[in-house]
Amino acid sequence: MNIFVLLKRTFDTEEKITISAGRISEDGAEFIINPYDEYAVEEAIQVRDKLGGEVTVITVGTEDSDKELRTALAMGADKAVLINTEDDLENGDQFTTAQIISEYLKDKDVDLILAGNVAIDGGSGQVGPRVAENLEIPYVTTITKLDIEDDTVTVVRDVEGDTETIETTLPLLVTCQQGLNEPRYPSLPGIMKAKKKPLEELELDDLDLDEEDVLAKTKTIEIYLPPKKEAGKVLEGEIADQVVELVSLLHREAKVI
């Protein structure tokens, strides 16, 4: 079984993030594998170990993504592919990424593609579904369980306050949600083996793509941190008086009633 994982290098949002001139400053920032993509890597490894095959991890970015790809290899992926756009693209968006990945995959013998449900830095959740649409294969988002029997796939996915069970077929793309599995930490032997595993680096020219083919459809005007929350108010006195004051505050200051 040929299994591909779409991986993104993201800021570690548990570390301090600095905004400068309407952009996130990379100086001193920590980068990690997008946490939802870790569920995808783990599930891919488990499927391979159960059914056989090979796991290839793909990312679109710069040479700095090498670290995150090596981490995925240390977790147990077999191969990694970096499509380096540093010299070809100044800006990109979800459309850009999906077009590039789709072009890479279009001639591959694909059985299963896994991606994170969303990226924690953008949260659009578009890349996986866009790739599936481009490749004309079915896709299921926000999955929490995956069972494969021959070419039949049974998937459980999150819906509003409940779950939904879907039966579909391979080839298939799924996006992975918390609860699907518990991603493993790279072991020391895994880290050592990762150094010898193949990591292929490609550019747009290698995919017969021009910059015009993947121009971003959106533009980020500005990034800013949310305003600091003001201190809350503690109401005192008799309950009846507190109720009157609360209603007044909700009407005059909060303007919610």
Domain total of the chain? 2
Q: Which helix (H) or strand (E) holds 116?
A: strand 112-116
Residue 220 falls inside a structural domain: no
CA 14 → CA 48, 107, 152, 180, 191, distances in Å?
A: 31, 39, 39, 22, 24
Residue 205 falls inside a structural domain: yes
**Shared domain check, 174 and 257:** no
pLDDT tens for each residue of 170-201: 999 999 999 999 999 999 999 999 999 999 99
pLDDT tier at 80, thresholds 50, 70, 90: very high
Residue 173 falls inside a structural domain: yes
- For helices 66-75 and 35-51, give the axis angle rounded to 10 degrees: 40
What is the extent of the structural domain holding 22? 2-214
pLDDT tens for each residue of 23-69: 777 777 788 999 999 999 999 999 999 999 999 999 999 899 999 99
**Shared domain check, 236 and 118:** no
CATH number at residue 100: 3.40.50.620
Residue 194 falls inside a structural domain: yes
The answer to whether the Cα torsion of 211, 213, 214, 219 is positive or negative is: positive
